Amino acid sequence: MNCVEKLESKEFTLDEIYVSENFLSKKHPGNKHIKDKIRQQLQVLRDKEYLEFTKRGRYRLT
């Protein structure tokens, strides 16, 4: 969620979130699948109704 909030936008793309990959890989050096984890966490945020998928690769905060 912190990476989403840093975007300072209600709508964003998956590519915009992937910019956080370097930051997250330094924070979690044992995780070799950062992009997979980002997508997983976006699904968790969707399920908790913090955001919605608007179309492929596009998201909106609720």
Task: Indicate whether 13 pLDDT > 90.
Answer: yes
**C-alpha–C-alpha distance, residues 25 and 27, integer Å:** 5
Beta strand extents in the chain (DSSP E only): 11-13, 51-55, 58-61
Q: Please say whether the beta carbons of 9 and 18 come within 8 A.
A: no
Counting every residue written for the chain, the total comes to 62
Question: Hey, what amino acid is at 33?
Answer: H
Q: What is the pLDDT of residues 16-47, one digit of tens each?
A: 999 989 889 999 999 999 999 999 999 999 99
- Domain 2-61, CATH among 3.40.50.170, 1.10.10.10, 3.40.50.1980, 1.10.10.60: 1.10.10.10
Name the band, by pLDDT with cuts 50, 70 and 90, for residue 7. Answer: confident
Q: Please say whether the beta carbons of 46 and 40 come within 8 A.
A: no
Name the band, by pLDDT with cuts 50, 70 and 90, for residue 50. Answer: very high
Task: Give the per-residue pLDDT at 2.
Answer: 83
